Structure 1
Amino acid sequence: MSTFVLPPLIKLRFPTDTIGEDYYREETSVSSSAEITETNSSLSSWTCPGVLTSTEITSTAYADTKVQQPPLTSATAYAFQDTKIPDLGSATKIINYVDGRSSFSSLMQLQELIYDARSTFTEYLYAVDEVQQSTKSGMISSYETQRRAMKTLQLVFKGILTFSISGTRSYLRSSTVYSSSVTSSSSYELQGSGYTVQGELSSEQVYRLQNIAERLNSTGCLGDCIEAYKISRKSAVDARFLRFGFGKWSIDDLQGLDSEEFTANIRLWIQTARKFYNSFFPGERQYYEQIFGGVSSVTYDNCFLPIVKEVAIELNNFANAVSSIASFQKLFAVLDLYKALSVLIPEIRNMFSTKLSAYISQGAIKTIENLATLVRQLFSSFEDTVLNERLNTLTRDGSIHSLTKYAMNYVTSISQYEELLKSIILSGPIESVGYQLDEQSLEDSGKSPLQLHLIWIMISLRINLEGKSRCHEHSSLRYVFIMNNVNYVIKTIIGSPELLELIGKEYVLKLSKDVIQATHFYSSSMWPRLLYCLRDPRLSNKFTFYDKLSKDSLKDRFKAFNTTFEEVCQTTSFVLDIQLRDQLHKFILRKLLPAYKCFLEKYGSHTLSKRYKEKYIKYSPEDLDYAFRTLTNDNGFSVEC
């Protein structure tokens, strides 16, 4: 059927005495008279159950038989409390005027019933109620008028639905009242009383739809409108879902996303699901209940459920697909999804509680269980990685390893989900690390399973770091590596009150002892090298009378001391923590200074000439402390870790 464009509307009042074209003014021409004729022809041929055609009316009149119509509901009675229609004749004129005595006028009046002030719509309802009342009384002449009224109300019902979707006044495409094209604009449209987002029904539109549905139902003419309602509202729901940009996702699609993209899609799902379950779905249910609340043939299952189920299933499918991922790097996005879905479960249960819709809520509950299982699997995968990661690419300065940084960032994030994880992690670690002393920390029965798992991760990290330290060629760098990495672990724990509470001060104290032990081993490996250079040079020469050889040996000792001292200072500078480095400085100098002073006093002044003394004695006892501080702080490693 052809489509035509209506002229601008001119506000009219329905006539009660005269029917004619004097009551409107044409400002623009209709596209073609043939289109109008085609529309009127279509309207005239329309029938609905329970309303007699003109032929049936004639036959019934000759048979002198009264046809019983369904009684008007109590809600209809309000129209007669303050009726503006004085008699049946006036009501018939109003209905006939809209229906088609003048094509152009009737189209304008139909648009007024859809768009304009309630007074026009209410006046028409008064006329319909008057006609229905007379039909109920058995007045045969009212049947044809009632048929015309029901046909008009159907068009108005569908027109309101179309206007709520398109937001434009281009309705009346004959009997085809639903357009499948839905605009994606998020602009606001003026609909009835007040502003509503495009796709929503305003309170005025709901009022009109409810009143029309009531009258159509009383004559058995509501069927087509129910289908039109479901198509229109489903279109609105689907369009809103598409506006969120949330497509269909398979397990393979999700597996292929990196952590950042995966997290972004989880956040989009959370935003979408919250909006639909907290706003859109309840809104659609309220529309259905308000419009069809008094219609027994329209139920939750055959009206509301078809409108929303596809979006609900799509939301469920994504969440369920997430439960099959395998990367522990996506744990926190999964936890966000789990938390959001857990909060929504009561709404989902309430929204889908009937026998035909329960599979949706049951699917969401099953997804929650699957996500909890996934969280435990990802948690275990991370633990295994911390213990068994074998990347031995180390820097020359014993700095903080990438595993240490990643693991501590990860457990810090875990502490932010403490309450949620306590409800998911229900048992402690079962794998043994093989270190009895460390595993004693896991035997504290007062700790939760989550706390025990975090301590287990710390133990695993410490064991892994110990293995990586052996990759350093020099023992001094091994101890620097342990000091830097374990000290970083301690500072990270202390810097997070939540993490400190979970791991406990007792285990932090144990880690501190590890650092102290590494400090002691480092000092013990460094100062003997310096003292070795200060041993008595005569011990290296059996012939003490050979004075020239003793002087050469002494020169070598001073040269060796200078070189070794600067190497010790450089290695000590690799210790990142300033306080720890200062402790090493004090410990080494406390051992070194007395020996150096003694050696210098014994051999520096008497054995070497003034020329050689200035060349080989690079540091005086007074300068040794300053030189140590300068050399350890000027290598670019003086920032606290």
Structure 2
Amino acid sequence: MEKSSLNNYNSFNKNGQIQSPRTRQTTISFSNDTLDQQSEHSNRENNTDNLLGGAHQVSEDVNEFIGVISAIDDKSSGLPEIPDFVKSFSEIIESKIKRYNSNGRFGKIEEDDLFFMESVRRISKLTNVLSEFSSDTNINSSLDQTSVALQHAMVFLEEEFRALLEDSRNDQSSDPQNFHKFSSFNSKNQQEHSDRCSIQREPDSGDSDDYPAYSPEALTKLREIATTMISAGYETECCQVYYLSRRNAIRNQMMKLEREVILNMDDVVKMPWEVLETEISRWINMVKTWSEIIFPGEKRLGESVFSDYPQIRQGLLSNIVRTVVIQLLDFSEATAMAKRSAEKLFKYLDMYEALQNLIPAISGESFSDDLMAEVSEAADRIGESAVSIFCDLENSIKSDAARTPVPGGAVHPLTRYVMNYLKYACEYKDTLEKVFTKQTELDKNYINIPAVSNNLSTQDLERESESPHNLDTVVHTTPFAIQVVTLMDLLDANLGRKANLYKDPSLRNVFLMNNGRYILQKVKGSNEIRQVMGDTWCRRRSTVVRMYHKNYQRETWNRVLQCLNHDGLLINGKANKPLLKERFKIFTTIFEEIHRTQSTWVVSDEQLQSELRISISAVVIPAYRSFVGRFKQYLDSGKQADKYIKYQPEDIESLIEGLFEGNTTSMGRRKT
């Protein structure tokens, strides 16, 4: 459009200025003095209404003016003198800012605020349009006025933006008492068992949608200010305020909750485990709070404030998240570098799970793939440490070469340690499956499955393939399941060597029976480890334990039963009294020796103890009762009979009930 087009739209007044088609009143040329006077008497409603109405009229005139000069194609042709309402419009905005600064009424009257925000956006457009005619010296004065007014408006909005973001009245989460309900995690740090490290449990339920707790009105104002500043070319200032405010808000929350971990890598690597364990628990709680509450909340806030600018929102959220995540990963990296030991496994697995849960929290369009890759790599390194610790259990079993047998054939401490370790490790079965599978993918040779002989005192097994640990008994031959089977094989081989420390074959079988039963009960008592080993393994383990039981009975009580053999005691219906007396004497001697010895042996499993006693009684008592009943009559009555028949069947049964208690029991005699 040429200059003539501008003339067609507007007429010139007598001073040569562009005149709007509307009839203009000189009284709406607002000076600073007039506006200040109006501010001092704001309670006068009529004057306020007139002022607001006049300001709206000027704003509409400016809008029309912007449309007209925007349509000019030849910007080099310049403009006639700028109309007075352009200056008035700049003064209106300047005066409005002064009023807001003096009485703090921004955000109190919605109509005023909406008009002000629209005016700022309009003067931004006016400044941009006028700058296209910057070669025209006639407009320099007007351009300077609009530019200054715009700059002052941006400074004001920047401060209001910051105040809204940091206003504790709008963000209830600044109160740690309010925020605590969103992040109250169980800190169950007591040891559930002496063989297991403390495990951090799931967080209590909390409404994470309440963070950050800005009111709908505050969110609307934040969105309006952000949109105005960005559209006016002040994107950098807007984003900087938002980034710093939200970053500081996150830091403050963590400090108020005493969950901020401020440790460098050297501190972590050198830290005693007792201290590091506490720091890990705090770190896990922090990751859960951020991944389940803060990150989703920050994402919702960004989507609300920068709804019209998705790329800006994505960049801001990515930067905020990266700042936090890098701090988390630094601690994780340092922990992975610390010296590894068996008791650290469960905390490492907790850390791995926390990092795995962090990935979906920071996934999506708002966050970079590089950041998620860094989290994933950190989780892999923690997982690698966990795998290494778990596999080190092999060396612990192999190196346990005690030279002294456990008194009484009781369950060996190594058995308790390994089985409790496996029991609690299998509570992390899904996690361990992931880390073992991942490590297998990274290094096909990482998991070394040694060829372990299934040494279960297999002289009583028909063939080695009957061992309950063969892989064909395991339901799923995953890398983790194979590792568990390997550890079981190593444990059995170690127990076989420890059994050979007992000179008494009977005690050797009691030792293997005790440990085998303990292993079986631990597997049956844990759904997780039973899922790994399978029902077939349990049945075959039960068979092996019963075999030890039979071996014990054969080694111990066959000698007793041989004394009660009837052969050779009656010849042509007459008793061989010397041989009969000798048999009774030998029985008493052998039984008392067995009782004296085996009452000190230990069978701590009550069911197994009962089964042993019942099986012994079922074999010995009927044979002894039959022997006494048949041959007592051939002995001389009275004291001579008591001399050879020291115990009645009831006495024997009572004494059997005292076996395997771990204490020496006096040999009593029931009087007939």
What TM-score do you get using the length of structure 2 for normalisation? 0.64
Give the C-alpha shift of residue 311 in structure 1: 0.8
* 2:407 corresponds to: 396
The 3-state SS of whatever aligns with 2:105 is helix
Counterpart of 2:111 (choices 102, 110, 119) is 119
Map 1:100-499 onto structure 2 (within 5 A): 100=98, 106-109=100-103, 111-113=104-106, 115-128=107-120, 144=145, 147-148=148-149, 150-167=151-168, 185-187=176-178, 202-217=215-230, 220=233, 223-243=236-256, 245-249=259-263, 250=265, 253=268, 256-258=272-274, 261=278, 264-265=281-282, 267-275=284-292, 278-283=295-300, 285-286=302-303, 289-290=306-307, 293=309, 301=315, 303-325=316-338, 326-350=340-364, 359-390=370-401, 395-426=406-437, 429-435=448-454, 437=465, 438=467, 441-442=470-471, 447-449=476-478, 450-472=480-502, 474-499=504-529
The one-letter amino acid paired with 1:161 is: R
Map 1:517-556 onto structure 2 (within 5 A): 517-528=547-558, 530=560
1-side partners of 2:260 and 2:151: how far apart? 41
Preserved CA contact (<8 Å) 2:352 2:382: yes
Give the C-alpha shift of residue 526 in structure 1: 2.0
* 1:41 corresponds to: none
User: Judging changes above 3 Å, is the alpha-carbon distance between structure 1 residues 448 and 286 closer, same or farther for their aligned structure 2 residues?
Assistant: same
The one-letter amino acid paired with 1:576 is: D
User: Judging changes above 3 Å, is the alpha-carbon distance between structure 1 residues 129 and 91 closer, same or farther for their aligned structure 2 residues?
Assistant: farther
2-side partners of 1:477 and 1:512: how far apart? 19
Map 1:30-49 onto structure 2 (within 5 A): none
Give the C-alpha shift of residue 465 in structure 1: 1.8
Preserved CA contact (<8 Å) 2:481 2:532: yes
The 3-state SS of whatever aligns with 2:635 is coil
User: Judging changes above 3 Å, is the alpha-carbon distance between structure 1 residues 285 and 299 closer, same or farther for their aligned structure 2 residues?
Assistant: closer
Give the C-alpha shift of residue 489 in structure 1: 1.5
2-side partners of 1:266 and 1:340: how far apart? 9
1-side partners of 2:380 and 2:90: how far apart? 63
Give the C-alpha shift of residue 167 in structure 1: 2.1
Preserved CA contact (<8 Å) 1:331 1:378: yes
Give the C-alpha shift of residue 183 in structure 1: 6.3
The one-letter amino acid paired with 2:292 is: K
Give the C-alpha shift of residue 629 in structure 1: 5.1
User: Judging changes above 3 Å, is the alpha-carbon distance between structure 1 residues 478 and 183 closer, same or farther for their aligned structure 2 residues?
Assistant: same
2-side partners of 1:131 and 1:582: how far apart? 95
Give the C-alpha shift of residue 313 in structure 1: 0.6
2-side partners of 1:567 and 1:155: how far apart? 96
Asked if 1:578 is matched to 2:595, the reply is: no
2-side partners of 1:553 and 1:270: how far apart? 79
The one-letter amino acid paired with 1:247 is: V
Count residues with an aligned counterpart: 525
Unaligned runs of 5+ in 2: 1-33, 45-77, 131-138, 180-207, 441-446, 455-463, 570-576, 665-672
Asked if 1:95 is matched to 2:93, the reply is: yes
2-side partners of 1:564 and 1:534: how far apart? 16
User: Judging changes above 3 Å, is the alpha-carbon distance between structure 1 residues 587 and 429 closer, same or farther for their aligned structure 2 residues?
Assistant: farther
1:547-591 alpha-carbon deviations (Å, 9 max, x no partner): 9x9999899757635633533662577363435643554346525
Preserved CA contact (<8 Å) 1:533 1:557: yes
1-side partners of 2:94 and 2:530: how far apart? 82
* 2:62 corresponds to: none
Counterpart of 1:510 (choices 516, 525, 540) is 540
Preserved CA contact (<8 Å) 1:483 1:515: yes
* 2:667 corresponds to: none
User: Judging changes above 3 Å, is the alpha-carbon distance between structure 1 residues 208 and 462 closer, same or farther for their aligned structure 2 residues?
Assistant: same
The one-letter amino acid paired with 2:647 is: Y
1-side partners of 2:663 and 2:141: how far apart? 104
1:276-299 alpha-carbon deviations (Å, 9 max, x no partner): 6741442454266337x29x9x68
User: Judging changes above 3 Å, is the alpha-carbon distance between structure 1 residues 597 and 459 closer, same or farther for their aligned structure 2 residues?
Assistant: same
2-side partners of 1:242 and 1:154: how far apart? 31
The 3-state SS of whatever aligns with 2:539 is helix
Unaligned runs of 5+ in 1: 1-14, 26-63, 69-86, 170-181, 189-194, 540-546
Preserved CA contact (<8 Å) 1:112 1:121: no
Give the C-alpha shift of residue 484 in structure 1: 1.4
Give the C-alpha shift of residue 490 in structure 1: 1.6
Preserved CA contact (<8 Å) 2:229 2:235: yes
Asked if 1:563 is matched to 2:589, the reply is: no
The one-letter amino acid paired with 1:116 is: K
User: Judging changes above 3 Å, is the alpha-carbon distance between structure 1 residues 384 and 273 closer, same or farther for their aligned structure 2 residues?
Assistant: farther
The one-letter amino acid paired with 1:377 is: S
Give the C-alpha shift of residue 422 in structure 1: 3.5
The 3-state SS of whatever aligns with 2:605 is coil
Counterpart of 2:658 (choices 626, 631, 640) is 631
* 1:176 corresponds to: none
Counterpart of 1:21 (choices 14, 17, 40) is 40
1:304-358 alpha-carbon deviations (Å, 9 max, x no partner): 544332212112223333433522333333334334433443554536755xxx5
The one-letter amino acid paired with 1:95 is: I
Asked if 1:594 is matched to 2:623, the reply is: yes
2-side partners of 1:67 and 1:593: how far apart? 129
The one-letter amino acid paired with 2:546 is: I
Give the C-alpha shift of residue 247 in structure 1: 0.4
1:57-95 alpha-carbon deviations (Å, 9 max, x no partner): xxxxxxx97799xxxxxxxxxxxxxxxxxx889866753
2-side partners of 1:431 and 1:134: how far apart? 80
User: Judging changes above 3 Å, is the alpha-carbon distance between structure 1 residues 344 and 351 closer, same or farther for their aligned structure 2 residues?
Assistant: farther
What TM-score do you get using the length of structure 1 for normalisation? 0.66
* 1:48 corresponds to: none
Which stretch of structure 1 is more off in the superposition, 567-576 or 393-402?
567-576
Preserved CA contact (<8 Å) 2:473 2:534: no
The one-letter amino acid paired with 1:422 is: E
2-side partners of 1:196 and 1:565: how far apart? 72
2-side partners of 1:67 and 1:401: how far apart? 102
Give the C-alpha shift of residue 432 in structure 1: 1.7
The 3-state SS of whatever aligns with 1:481 is helix
Give the C-alpha shift of residue 602 in structure 1: 4.5
The one-letter amino acid paired with 1:246 is: E
